[in-house]
Amino acid sequence: MKITAVKTIPLGGATHDHGWPGGTDPNVQYNTLIEVIGEDGFVGIGSCYTSRQLVEGSLALLLPHMIGECALEPERLSEKLRQSMFWFGRGGAVEHTISGIDIALWDLLGKVVKQPVARLLG
């Protein structure tokens, strides 16, 4: 199954008391969900602790390496993304976005084979 699209969903809101020193601003969006959509309609969802703007900027670099790729090979595709971003540096928003994509790919694979991700990971 090939990847046909990737979407982002911003998450906002306050953290629980004592979640962060001094709390967080409930008006600031700190997390983003990433949806990886396959040609058969399956959707995998991942999460990363990075703002939507930074995730979308990272996706502008990553999407050409993703669209049309097999969605059922999370390890291979995640490594391909990391290798393709080598010269952009390993870390920061790009790495956070790749991690969210990796989670979404595993979620999608689990849905396709009707197995929990924990079982797929061994």
- In tens, the pLDDT along 78-95 reads 999 999 998 877 789 999
pLDDT score for 17: 60
Contact present, 6 and 63 (Cβ < 8 Å):
yes
Q: Taking 80 as the threshold, does the pLDDT of residue 119 lie above it?
A: yes
36 vs 121, more confident: 36
Closest residue by Cα to residue 3 from 53, 74, 54, 52: 74
Tally of CB atoms within 10 A around 76: 12
pTM: 0.89
All domains in the chain, ordered by first residue: 3-14+25-121 (3.30.390.10)
Q: What would the two tokens of residue 11 be?
A: 């998450």
pLDDT score for 20: 56
Quick one: pLDDT band at residue 110, thresholds 50, 70, 90? Answer: very high
pLDDT in tens, 20-79: 555 566 666 779 999 999 999 999 999 998 999 999 999 999 999 999 999 999 999 999
Closest residue by Cα to residue 35 from 120, 104, 107, 118: 104
Location of structure tokens 């700190």: 30
Contact present, 85 and 94 (Cβ < 8 Å):
yes
Position 97: which residue type?
Answer: T
